[in-house]
Amino acid sequence: MRSSFKRLFSSRHELDMSEGRISSLLIRYAVPVLCGNIFMYLYNMVDAWVLGRSGQTEAYAAVGSLSGVIQTIVAVFWGFAAGAEILTARVFGSHDRERVSRAAHTAMGFTLILGIVLTAVGLLAAPLALRFLLGADSDPEIYRHARTYLLIFFAGLTPMLVYNMGAGLLRSIGDTRRPFVFLTTASVINIVLDAAFVFVFDFGVAGVAWATVIAQLVAAVMTVTVLFRTEAPVRLSLRRLRLDRALFFGMLVLAIPAALTRSVGSVSAALMQSYIAGADGEQALVMGSYTTYNKLAVFFTQPTAALGAAVATFVSQNLGAGRVSRARRGVAVALGLAVTVTAPLVLFRILLAEELPYIFIDNAAIAKTAAGLFLYLSPTPLLVSFSSPFSSGLNGAGKNFITMLLSFLQVALAQLYLYLVVRYVANDILTITFGEVLVSGLTALLAFLSFLLFMPRERGMGR
C-alpha cells in the first residue's frame, strides 16, 4: 500500500510522443483524459441531478442557468493553462529539463495570482451577471438560488485553478494517469457530498455548491503533492516559485488567443442562455429542458475532446523534436479515431432520445422538450468530431491566433442567427438552439481549410 502511494505521488509517468506508433500514443494519452472528463462532468452534472430528483424545480433551473457565466469567467484561466501546457510540452519535446522546470514554476506562480484576482472579480460581478443571464423580471426563487450557488463557487475558485494548471503541467509531459486518478477521487467525493447535503441535510443549492468546492480542494491538494514530490522535470519548489519573464511572455503569446477563444465561446453560451430564458413558455420549464439537454449532451463530445487534448500535446512535442511530418500525421490519425468513436454514440443518442432526460428529471413536460432537443441537434457531435482535431492540431503548433479568429467568427454567426430567428422566425426553444448545428457545420469546414493553410509543413516552419 505504501509503495503504491509512493509510486503515485513521487514516480515519473512521462510519455515521449515523438517516438512510437501514433494511434497507440494518442489512445494511451486520450483514455485517461476521457475518463477524467467524464468524471468531471459527472460531478458537475450531479449538482443538477440531485436538485432535479429532489423536486426543487427552481433550484434545478438556477444551477443550469449559470453554466454560461461560470464558463466565461473560468475560460480566462483555462486559456493561460492551455498556453502553459503547450509551451511546456514544446520544451519537454526538446529535452531541456531546466527550462521545463522554469516553465512549471512560472505557470503555477501566475495561477495563484490569477486565482485571487478572479475570485475578487467574480464575487463583485455576480449580481450583474445574474441580471444579465436571467433578465430583470426573472423568477425571484430562481434568482435567489442562482446567487447562492455563484457566490460559493467563486469563494472556492482558486483550488479549481490550481488543479487545472497542475493537471495541465503533468499532461504536458505525457502524464494523464495521475490527473485522472485525482479527478476521479474528487468526483466520488463530490457525488457523495451532493447526495448527503441535499437528501440528508436538505442544504439545497448551497449544499451542492459546497460539495463542489470541497471536491476541487481535494483534487488541488493531491495535484500539488505530486508536483512537489515527483522526480519529473515539472517538480515544484517553493523557493523557485517565480515568474520567468521570457517563458511567461511566451506563455502569454499562446494563452491570450486561447483565453479569448474559450471566453468568447463561453460568452456565446451565456448569450444563448439569455435567449432561452426569454423563449416562449414558462421560464422554469424552458430552462429546465435546456439544462437537461446541456448536462447530458456534453458526454457525446467527450471522446473528441480527449483526442483533441492528445493531438495538441502530440503536435507540440513533435514540433519541439523537429518532427513536422509526424505532427501532421497525428492530426489525421486523431480525426479518424474521433469520427469512428462518435458515430455510434450519435446513433445511441437518437435511439434513446426519449429516455435520456429522465436520468435527470421526473417531469414529463421538461423531459418531452429535452427529448426534442436530443433529436433535433443530433448532428452536432459528428460535426465537432470533424473540426476538433484540426483546431487542436493548430493549437499544438502555436497557431492559437488562427483558432481564436475561427472562434470569433463562430460566435458572430451564432449571434446573428439568434437575432434573426427570434426577431423574424420564432421564439421557441427548438428554433433558437438549431443554430448549434448550422454553426458547428460551418466551423468544421473553416477548421479544415485553416489546417491546410496554416499548419507547419516540413519546409514551411519559417512562415
Q: Would you place residue 57 in the very low, low, confident or very high pLDDT band (cuts 50, 70, 90)?
A: low
The yes-or-no verdict on residue 462 having pLDDT over 60 is no
Q: From residue 37, how far is each of 40, 185, 302 by CA, in Å?
A: 5, 13, 7
d(C-alpha 10, C-alpha 97), whole Å:
17
Q: Would you place residue 12 in the very low, low, confident or very high pLDDT band (cuts 50, 70, 90)?
A: low
Q: What is the pLDDT of residue 387?
A: 92
Q: In this structure, how many other beta carbons lie within 10 angstroms of the beta carbon of residue 9? A: 15
Percent of residues, the chain, with pLDDT higher than 90? 17
What residue segments make up the domains of the chain, in order of their start?
22-453
Q: What is the pLDDT of residue 266?
A: 66
- All three cell numbers of 22, joined, read 501514433
Residue 203 three-state SS: coil
Q: What is the pLDDT of residue 463?
A: 37
Considering only CA atoms, give the Rg of the chain. Answer: 22
- All three cell numbers of 247, joined, read 517563458
Q: In this structure, how many other beta carbons lie within 10 angstroms of the beta carbon of residue 336? A: 12
The yes-or-no verdict on residue 273 having pLDDT over 80 is no
319: left (phi over 0), alpha (psi -120 to 50) or beta: alpha
The yes-or-no verdict on residue 380 having pLDDT over 50 is yes
pTM of the model: 0.69
Contact, 416 vs 277, CB < 8 A?
no
Q: What is the per-residue DSSP string for 253-277?
A: HHHHHHHHHHHHHHHHHHHHHHHHH
Q: Would you place residue 5 in the very low, low, confident or very high pLDDT band (cuts 50, 70, 90)?
A: very low
> How many CA atoms, within 13 angstroms, populate the side-chain half-sphere of residue 198?
27
d(C-alpha 246, C-alpha 347), whole Å:
49
> How many CA atoms, within 13 angstroms, populate the side-chain half-sphere of residue 11?
11
Q: What is the pLDDT of residue 13?
A: 59
Q: Is 282 exposed, middle or buried (0-12, 13-18, 19+ CB in 10 A)?
A: exposed
Q: From residue 429, how far is each of 147, 357, 426 by CA, in Å?
A: 24, 16, 9
Mean pLDDT of the chain: 82
Q: Would you place residue 118 in the very low, low, confident or very high pLDDT band (cuts 50, 70, 90)?
A: confident
> How many CA atoms, within 13 angstroms, populate the side-chain half-sphere of residue 60?
29
The yes-or-no verdict on residue 153 having pLDDT over 90 is no
Q: What is the pLDDT of residue 461?
A: 41
- All three cell numbers of 417, joined, read 442567427
Q: How far apart are the first and last CA of the chain?
A: 53
Q: What is the per-residue DSSP string for 313-332?
A: HHHHHHHHTT-HHHHHHHHH
Q: pLDDT digit string (tens) for 213-267?
A: 899 899 999 999 999 988 888 888 888 888 888 888 888 887 777 777 766 766 6
The yes-or-no verdict on residue 205 having pLDDT over 50 is yes
Q: pLDDT digit string (tens) for 77-95?
A: 777 787 788 788 778 877 7
The C-alpha cell 454514440 sits at 345
